[in-house]
Amino acid sequence: MNKPKGYLSPLERARDSEVRRRVDERKREIYLSTLIMEEMQKRGLTVRQLAKYANVSPSTIQSLRSGDAENIGLGKLEQILSFVGRTISFPTIKGQRSSSALRACR
């Protein structure tokens, strides 16, 4: 079977750093969305209830749940996650000191 000119297999596309970056970004969005939904279900919370307790808007919670959150800000994200008993962790960059402001995601 002949392939169209310029065709790249999925494996070839996965070698492209820009494609990998977008895939990694999407995986993080899915992980966060799943985490929020699981924690809400575990605690029996609605979108409005979690928004009220975390002191953010219901649309912020809904956009996190749907994976469409853009420019949400670390402050809001930290408020939401801390309410459900989670925290944020950033990997240490080689040659820099680690920040103690945000702890491991557990």
Domains annotated for the chain, with CATH where assigned, are 17-106 (1.10.260.40)
Entry pTM? 0.62
- Three-state SS at 54: helix
What confidence tier does 97 reach under pLDDT thresholds 50, 70, 90? low
22 CB-contact burial (10 Å; exposed 0-12 / middle 13-18 / buried 19+):
exposed
On the question of pLDDT at 2 being above 80, the answer is no
Distance of CA 47 to the CA centre of its chain: 17
What is the tens place of the pLDDT at every residue in 37-60? 998 899 899 999 999 998 999 998
Q: Which amino acid is at 20?
A: R
Structure tokens at 104: 């491991």
Instruction: Note the pLDDT tens digit of each residue in 59-96.
Output: 989 988 888 777 788 888 888 888 888 887 777 777 65
Instruction: Please determine, for residue 11, whether its predicted confidence score (pLDDT) is greater than 80.
Output: no
Q: 99: helix, coil or strand?
A: coil
Mean pLDDT, residues 6-29:
79
Write down the pLDDT at residue 103: 47
- 90-106 exposure pattern, b = at least 16 Cβ within 10 A, e = fewer: eeeeeeeeeeeeeeeee
